[in-house]
Amino acid sequence: MSAIPDPTTVLSIDDLKGWGHPGTFLAVLGWPISHSISPWMHQAALAVMARENPMFSDWVYVRVEVRPEELACALDRLGEAGFRGINLTVPHKVEVLPFLVGQDEESRAMGAANTLRLTENGYYGHNSDGYGLARAVEESFGFGLKGLRVLLLGAGGAARAAAVQMARSGVEGLWIHNRTQSKAEALVAQLIDSGCPSSLMKVGMPDLKETDGVDLVINATSLGLRPEDPTPVGLALVPGKPACYDMIYNPARTRFLGEAAGLGLPAANGLSMLVHQGVRSLEIWSGASVPESAMAEGARTGLEKILSETLPSGQ
């Protein structure tokens, strides 16, 4: 019988052909995928879960590099091989939708799926990103989203999931600020179409006439991924003393978070969101309770490993 693959190796769709490995398999698909720390997070949580229930001792989570044009083939092969659960990252969260047998209400409203569950007929879509964000805010700042005045930066896929979660969690006001205003307007229209109350959302920057102050600013743009990136907003322009959450976790301290810290504002990066979306995904696949602290510890280990591999040579 063939050996269980090492969860830290990166597989290709060719490796899925004639999959005969014993065990229960989970995978994350993306392109590129070698930066993903999900195997460390899930294996750490599964190791703790296996102590309670030996059923989890043969669960293995792997990364599969899947190019956009390979997605349909990858899903067929994963389904045939019986992969129980799949996470999707860039660029597959939206493109996967036509291949699903169904979607829950959350992922439908978000227009994207990051978690697939194998059913008798094929893969069913969920989205754990919004849950991850809500839990991350709670954990980082000690308050829930309900009743907050939120400034959301960005109007792409990440911003859409965040906005849907804000509406579902009962925020009091949501301002969507984006470099390209027409995209922010299009996002608001999409959100209204999917059932979010129109009274809640405004495009642009809040000013003091509209509100006493913003409670939370979320960076859902891709600005900050490169160390030389500027901040997506001058925080001094934002009324109030908001807590600042950056969905980016690598680098750990973006210019946005640096500026927040300089102004004495509470600030946190996106690692906690990644951890909590992972917790929710594994809950969906396992039906069991998932230890958050083990998942978080696994994330830290994985990140150290990935960073040590990407350091310039000689360091």
Terminal-to-terminal C-alpha distance of the chain: 41
Q: Is 180 in the site for ligand ATR (CB under 6 A)?
A: yes
Binding mask 77-116 for ligand ATR (x = CB under 6 A): ----------------------------------------
89 or 272: whose CB is closer to ligand ATR? 89
CA–CA gap between residue 228 and residue 160 (Å, rounded): 26
- Within residues 221-260, the interface with ligand ATR by CB under 6 A covers 221-223, 232
- Tokens for 153? 């930066």
User: Of 2-10, 48-56, 136-144, 173-181, which part binds ligand ATR (CB under 6 A)?
Assistant: 173-181
Closest CA to 87 of 277, 264, 270: 277
116 or 233: whose CB is closer to ligand ATR? 233
Asked if 93 is an active-site residue, the reply is: yes
Q: Is 158 in the site for ligand ATR (CB under 6 A)?
A: yes
Residue of 36, 140, 178, 219 that binds ligand ATR (CB under 6 A): 178
- Within residues 260-279, the interface with ligand ATR by CB under 6 A covers none
Q: Is 206 in the site for ligand ATR (CB under 6 A)?
A: no
User: CB 186 → ligand ATR: shortest distance, Å?
Assistant: 9
User: Of 58-66, 154-162, 193-201, 296-304, which part binds ligand ATR (CB under 6 A)?
Assistant: 154-162
Residue of 17, 51, 179, 241 that binds ligand ATR (CB under 6 A): 179
Q: Is 30 in the site for ligand ATR (CB under 6 A)?
A: no
Residue of 156, 197, 234, 258 that binds ligand ATR (CB under 6 A): 156
231 or 272: whose CB is closer to ligand ATR? 231
Residue of 62, 134, 155, 238 that binds ligand ATR (CB under 6 A): 155
User: CB 33 → ligand ATR: shortest distance, Å?
Assistant: 15
96 or 118: whose CB is closer to ligand ATR? 96
How many residues form the binding site for ligand ATR (CB under 6 A)?
14
CA–CA gap between residue 169 and residue 150 (Å, rounded): 12
Q: Is 67 in the site for ligand ATR (CB under 6 A)?
A: no
Closest CA to 245 of 235, 236, 237: 235
Enumerate the active-site residues: 93
**Residues making contact with ligand ATR (CB under 6 A):** 154-159, 178-180, 183, 221-223, 232
